[in-house]
Amino acid sequence: MAVDAASRGYRVALVAAEDFAKGTSSRSPKLVHGGVRYLRQGNITLVLEALRERGRLAKNAPHLVRDMAFVIPTYNWWEGPFYGIGMKVYDQLAGYLELDPSGWLSREETMKRIPSVEPEGLVDGVIYHDGQFDDARLAIHLAMTAAEQGAVVTNYCRCIALIKREGRVTGARLRDAEAGEEFELRTKSVVNATGVFVDELRQIGDEDANPVVAVSQGIHIVLPQKFLPGNTAIMIPKTSDGRVLLAVPWQNRVIVGTTDTPRKTAVLEPRALAEERDFVMEHAQRYLTLDPRMQMS
Ligand X SMILES: Cc1cc2nc3c(=O)[nH]c(=O)nc-3n(C[C@H](O)[C@H](O)[C@H](O)COP(=O)(O)OP(=O)(O)OC[C@H]3O[C@@H](n4cnc5c(N)ncnc54)[C@H](O)[C@@H]3O)c2cc1C
Return residues touching ligand X (CB under 6 A). 15-18, 22-25, 27-29, 31, 33, 158-159, 193-197, 201, 218-220, 257-258
Nearer to ligand X, 100 or 260 (CB): 260
Cα–Cα dist 201/19, whole Å: 18
How far apart, in Å, are the Cα atoms of 131 and each of 64, 135, 225, 281?
10, 12, 20, 24
Q: Please report how close the Cβ of residue 160 comes to ligand X at its closest, in angstroms.
A: 7
Q: Please report how close the Cβ of residue 232 comes to ligand X at its closest, in angstroms.
A: 18
Q: Please report how close the Cβ of residue 39 comes to ligand X at its closest, in angstroms.
A: 13
Q: Please report how close the Cβ of residue 201 comes to ligand X at its closest, in angstroms.
A: 5
Asked if 142 and 2 touch (Cβ cutoff 8 Å), the reply is yes
Q: Please report how close the Cβ of residue 106 comes to ligand X at its closest, in angstroms.
A: 29
Nearer to ligand X, 108 or 137 (CB): 137
Nearer to ligand X, 41 or 106 (CB): 41
Q: Please report how close the Cβ of residue 61 comes to ligand X at its closest, in angstroms.
A: 16
Query: At what angle are helices 44-60 and 79-94 packed, to 10 degrees?
Result: 60
Nearer to ligand X, 166 or 241 (CB): 241
Nearer to ligand X, 113 or 158 (CB): 158
Nearer to ligand X, 71 or 196 (CB): 196
Cα–Cα dist 95/48, whole Å: 10
Nearer to ligand X, 237 or 257 (CB): 257
Q: Please report how close the Cβ of residue 188 comes to ligand X at its closest, in angstroms.
A: 19
Nearer to ligand X, 121 or 180 (CB): 180
Q: Please report how close the Cβ of residue 18 comes to ligand X at its closest, in angstroms.
A: 4
Asked if 256 and 235 touch (Cβ cutoff 8 Å), the reply is no
Cα–Cα dist 38/36, whole Å: 5
238: three-class secondary structure by DSSP: coil
Using DSSP bridges, classify how beta strands 233-236 and 65-74 pair: parallel, antiparallel or unpaired.
parallel
Using DSSP bridges, classify how beta strands 216-217 and 261-262 pair: parallel, antiparallel or unpaired.
antiparallel
Sequence-ordered strand ranges (E) for 78-228: 103-105, 124-133, 152-155, 157-165, 168-176, 181-186, 216-217, 220-224
Q: One-letter amino acid identity for 27?
A: R
92: three-class secondary structure by DSSP: helix
Cα–Cα dist 96/55, whole Å: 9
Residue closest to 157 by CA, chosen among 10, 13, 1, 11? 13
